[in-house]
Amino acid sequence: MGLKYQDGSLVFGETNFVSLEKIAQKKSDPFYVYDLDGMKSRLHYLKKSFPGISPHYAMKANSADRILKMFAQEGSGVDVVSGGEIRHALKTGFKAKDIIFSGVGKSRTELELAIGEEIKQINVESPQELLRIIAMSKAMNKKPKVAFRINPDVDAKTHPYITTGFRENKFGMGEHFVPELRAILTSNPNTVDLCGLTLHIGSQLQDILPIKDAIQKTLPLFYQFKQEGHQMRTFDVGGGLGIPYNEEHTFPSKDYALLNGYGKMLQEALQGFTGEVLCEPGRILVGSCGVLVGEVQYIKETPFRSFLIVNTGIHHMMRPALYQAYHRILPVRSNDNREQRIYDIVGPICESSDVLGRERTLYEIKPGEHIAIADSGAYGYSMASYYNEHDFPEQFFWENQHLDSDKPMDLKSEKEFQVRNL
């Protein structure tokens, strides 16, 4: 994403830039900044890469109201994984016909909500779930639209915690489930509308060939169900496209290159397919479009390590602890006139895993200065917690050279600041 220095100050954006330093001068607490224009641009590019595709934003990546409203206004659908996300989607502008419900552990309460609202599609993860949906549809006198999530047994070659389409994962159903699924449908005619198949092989995918492999392994089953008389209309190719966290990229060319390659791959893999093609991207639409900023509290020197202690950590950004994920970390004010040091950048949480970056070479940073954790737009705030009773960080939204906050700022000249005086 666009992080660069102008006159020694770190600015953020894609075509228009906001000064992170100006916000930090007024905010001692941690905060996120998001570039909504960059998110919109990625969504539009995805649509152009494969004309006719129906993107459904995976809201687990970032469920900020402002972001959800923007995607709804831009014509995206939404992929949800809980009843709470269904309600949130409806409150922020999505219609029931825009909602796909994924997830392996849907409760009766959640399914009652989804069936009652008559959402676009419930992605079924197991025969037991199908039986539950059928029983509830009979009781509610509804005929919900369902799609079977197929596990194509494809190795996505990503972190084991975010692989979802391999035979050892809990997600989806291998072909050995198909006879049982057929038997359930035969025994319960006209109770559900089997409208399609869906797959999702993992997250943070940089290589699109495994997705193509998964599509080609799953499509024959789609046509089999269609030949058996089911009104198959949707083929959901999942999401999971990643971003280059480890690279010192400044502009979003690699995000767009991946989206372009993805579209070309879909055109090849789905040649001749006439149904609706759904996809459920999250990270690639928002990941590069967010940054987390925190203030340095102390520098702690030991014979073994130099710790840069900041006021943000795993309670605001869990990815480094959960996935051993790497995020670029930059000073908000350029200090390249100082000597370089090697720091472990750690937060205030009483856990040894509260480390944002290990052995990072940075120019010397002093207490009271700020750092920016790059590429924090996905799975940052959405996984944040009140652990140790710390407050959540504030969120700012940068759009059309305007900056807005998710809550009133406790600052002098608050009105002037919020009315986009940066």
**Residues linked to residue 293 through DSSP beta bridges, in sequence order:** 31, 372
Nearest C-alpha neighbor of 87 from the set 109, 66, 67:
109
Are residues 147 and 196 in contact, defined by beta-carbon separation less than 8 angstroms? yes
| Residues with a known catalytic role | 350
Two tokens, residue 79: 């992929």
**Residues linked to residue 99 through DSSP beta bridges, in sequence order:** 78
Separation of alpha carbons 100 and 91, rounded Å: 16
User: Is residue 322 exposed (0-12), middle (13-18) or buried (19+ Cβ within 10 Å)?
Assistant: middle
Q: Three-state SS string across 224-272, please?
A: HHHHCCCCCCEEECCCCECCCCCCCCCCCHHHHHHHHHHHHHHHHHCCC
Could you give the 3-state DSSP secondary structure of residue 32?
strand
Q: What angle do CA 20, 25, 30 make, to 5 degrees?
A: 70
Separation of alpha carbons 249 and 280, rounded Å: 25
Separation of alpha carbons 301 and 303, rounded Å: 7
Two tokens, residue 176: 């050995």
Instruction: Find the Cα–Cα–Cα–Cα dihedral 335, 341, 345, 348, rounded to 10°.
Output: -90
What is the pairing mode between strands 370-373 and 329-331? antiparallel
What are the backbone dihedrals phi and psi of residue 95, each rounded to the nearest 5 degrees, phi first? -95, 160
Nearest C-alpha neighbor of 79 from the set 53, 95, 102, 103:
102
**What's the start-to-end Cα distance of the chain, in Å?**
20
DSSP assigned state of 150 = B
DSSP assigned state of 175 = G
